[in-house]
Amino acid sequence: MGKPVNLNRFRKDRARAEKKARADQNAVKFGRGKAEKDLDRARAEKARRDLDGHERDGGGDE
């Protein structure tokens, strides 16, 4: 027969591991510097302007 397992310890360890995984994901998602955020914002704005510049006029048979 195996060694008894403390279920409270198991539950707490699992919760800690889930919190750490969530923290790591948030660090990747939100842990960027201001310069990186500004660069991403500028790239998104340029992409939006480029897309808007390629729109068709509504003067055809629609």
Q: What is the DSSP string of 9-30?
A: HHHHHHHHHHHHHHHHHHHHHH
pLDDT at res. 61: 56
Kindly give the confidence (pLDDT) of every residue in the chain, 62 residues in length, as a single tens digit, with 9 standing for 90 and above.
Answer: 788 889 999 999 999 999 999 999 998 888 888 898 899 999 999 999 999 888 777 655 55
Token pair, residue 8, equals 């409270």
Residue 2 domain-assigned? Answer: no
Q: Which two tokens stand for residue 33?
A: 């510097």
Residue 34 lies in a domain: yes
* Domain count within the chain: 1
pLDDT of residue 42: 97
Residue 31 lies in a domain: yes
Residue 62 placed within a domain: no
Domain that holds residue 40: 7-53
Whole-angstrom Cα distance, residue 17 to residue 27? Answer: 15
